[in-house]
Amino acid sequence: MAGAETDDRLKKIAMALGAAVLAALAWIAAGTTPNDTTVPPVRSPSRADVLRSSPTPSLPPSLSTSLSPSPIVPTPPGEGPRPLIMPVAGIEPSTIHDNFDEMRGGATRRHEALDILAPRGTPVVAADDGAVKKLFTSVPGGLTVYEFDPDQRYCYYYAHLDAYAPGLHEGQLLHRGELVGYVGTTGNAPKDAPHLHFAVIHLDPDKRWWTGTPINPYPLLHKAP
């Protein structure tokens, strides 16, 4: 009886060992381990995962600034007007004479402007961005244009024009270099010496187009790009 029980136990042990061996062989054939049934496989990160986890690159401050557009900014308070472009087409700043302080009217008044000589009909262009404040005809200035700068701190005065640019009107926005009129001799200009009488005026607080403090345009034209 004891021998039979011993045989049964040996059979059961052999069967258990056989089952374990078969299971191990099955895992090996499948290329897995027992723990694979509870631990998920390790996944290599995708390109999208890398992009999401990587910080966004930023440009160095100096390079970032240089790539940004440079808007026109108002002139800081206390500073003079910004450099101007030559208001007469084809004239180089080096060829004009600084006659701002010359005496006129029989030595009774200062000129307080620049006379820029050019053939009659030469285009006169806006020296700076701004807006046409006033189109006016006077005895001394003839056909004139008063342009206010974007900050309405300075007025640009164009006088002795032969004619206005077609369609020019008060309130019109001007970009520097845009046609304003043509060189002439209207007003009290000598008829044999066509020129542009160009003045820059620092406006009074009440912003009246006909009054203010004259500023010499000569240095501003020589600083122009």
Residues 126 and 210 in one domain: yes
- Residue 42 is assigned to a structural domain of this protein: no
Residues 98 and 30 in one domain: no
In three-state secondary structure terms, 161 is strand
CB 133 within 8 A of CB 155: yes
**189-218, pLDDT tens digit by residue?**
999 999 999 999 999 999 999 899 999 999
- Residue 106 is assigned to a structural domain of this protein: yes
Residues 102 and 1 in one domain: no
Residues 30 and 112 in one domain: no
- Distant-in-sequence, close-in-space partners of 133: CB < 8 Å, separation ≥ 6: 146, 147, 148, 155, 170, 209
Q: How far apart are CA 82 and CA 212, in angstroms?
A: 18
- Residue 149 is assigned to a structural domain of this protein: yes
The boundaries of the domain holding residue 167 are 93-222
Q: What is the mean pLDDT of residues 45-74?
A: 38
Predicted confidence at residue 80, as pLDDT, reads 65
- Distant-in-sequence, close-in-space partners of 39: CB < 8 Å, separation ≥ 6: none
Residues 110 and 209 in one domain: yes
- Residue 85 is assigned to a structural domain of this protein: no
The yes-or-no verdict on residue 55 having pLDDT over 70 is no
The yes-or-no verdict on residue 31 having pLDDT over 50 is no
Predicted confidence at residue 205, as pLDDT, reads 93
The yes-or-no verdict on residue 68 having pLDDT over 70 is no
Instruction: Report the predicted TM-score, pTM, of the whole model to 2 decimal places.
Output: 0.64
Read off the CATH number of the domain in which 197 is found: 2.70.70.10
- Residue 160 is assigned to a structural domain of this protein: yes
Domain tally, the chain? 2
Predicted confidence at residue 222, as pLDDT, reads 81
Q: What is the mean pLDDT of residues 159-171?
A: 98
Residues 13 and 120 in one domain: no
- Residue 73 is assigned to a structural domain of this protein: no
Q: Which of the listed ranges 8-12, 96-100, 199-203 does the model predict with the highest average pLDDT?
A: 199-203
- Distant-in-sequence, close-in-space partners of 123: CB < 8 Å, separation ≥ 6: 88, 89, 179, 181, 182, 183
Residues 99 and 2 in one domain: no
Between strands 103-104 and 195-203, the pairing is unpaired
The model's confidence at residue 112, banded by pLDDT at 50, 70 and 90, is confident
Residues 104 and 201 in one domain: yes
Any idea of the CA torsion for 87, 89, 92, 95, to the nearest 10 degrees? -80
- Residue 82 is assigned to a structural domain of this protein: no
- Residue 2 is assigned to a structural domain of this protein: yes
- Distant-in-sequence, close-in-space partners of 160: CB < 8 Å, separation ≥ 6: 141, 142, 143, 144, 183, 184, 185, 186, 187, 189, 194, 195, 196, 197
Residues 26 and 99 in one domain: no
